Amino acid sequence: MNTARRIIVALDFDTVDDAQAIVDRLGDAGQSYKVGLELLTVAGPAFVARLVGEGKDVFLDLKLFEIPTSVAGAVRAAGRLGATMVTVHAMGGSTIMEAAVRAAADFPQLHVIALTVVTSLADTDLAAIGLSATIEEQVTRLARLAQRAGCHGVVASPQDAASLRAELGPDMLIVTPGVTLQAGINGTTSEHARPAHPTAAIRAGATHIVIGRSLTRAPDPAAVLAHLEDELGKLRAHS
């Protein structure tokens, strides 16, 4: 897998101009982008289509959690746009995930990625909504469910990557948000409860990392991306 495409740059912006500015600054070096609910609501599908038209991979982070028919329709819409990944909530259960996988079958480039537990949550948050499981237990349970439903991969914290790789085997994609560069870089703080450095996530078994503000708010985002690609390239060469 192309190292550059393993690094998904999160376009967590509230204007099209700000998002496009980062894409322009990264140029050919930026190969994969995450478009989430905020930017999609502001920009609409045209921005996703523009990225695809420029040859970029698009991780459409919709976190779908609806009735199966609606989920399938949204997945088909993502496929028609040319997205390479779309997220569905594993908490929705097997029927929803299976509907998503069936809908994606007509789009060879599209992978259904199941969100296990949102990376901002901790054990106390699960307890507050009536779940007795720990984060680790819940992540593992939902990842198994996603694999049985035919999902192509899961979203999980970098700190869950090693156990999931052992649990799921070599073929499942593991996409890890919550990766960050050194703490406090560029005045940013992590919104994730269980963050880790990108190289640690890859070593643990992640196939993709999602990196946001510590790259996009850097004085020179292209230099940060180049350094990160170099680090991951060396890691791959020695693995």
Sorted by where each begins, the domain ranges of the chain are: 3-237
**Whole-prediction pTM value?**
0.90
Q: Of 34, 56, 63, 234, which is the active-site residue?
A: 63
Per-residue confidence in pLDDT tens, the chain, 239 aa: 688 899 999 999 999 999 999 999 999 999 999 999 999 999 999 999 999 999 999 999 999 999 999 999 999 999 999 999 999 999 999 999 999 999 999 999 999 999 988 777 777 877 787 877 787 888 899 999 999 999 999 998 888 999 999 999 999 999 999 787 754 444 444 454 445 788 889 999 999 999 999 999 999 999 999 999 998 888 766 55
Respond yes or no: is residue 56 known to be catalytic. no
Q: Which is the CATH superfamily of the domain at 3-237?
A: Aldolase class I (3.20.20.70)
Cβ neighbors of 217 (< 8 A, separation 6 or more) are 186, 187, 188
d(CA 70, CA 37): 16
CA distances for 195 relative to 110, 145, 180, angstroms: 27, 24, 7
What is the structure's pLDDT at 179?
Answer: 84
At 121 the pLDDT is 73
Q: What is the pLDDT of residue 172?
A: 97
Pick from 109, 110, 121, 28: which is nearest to 64 by CA? 110
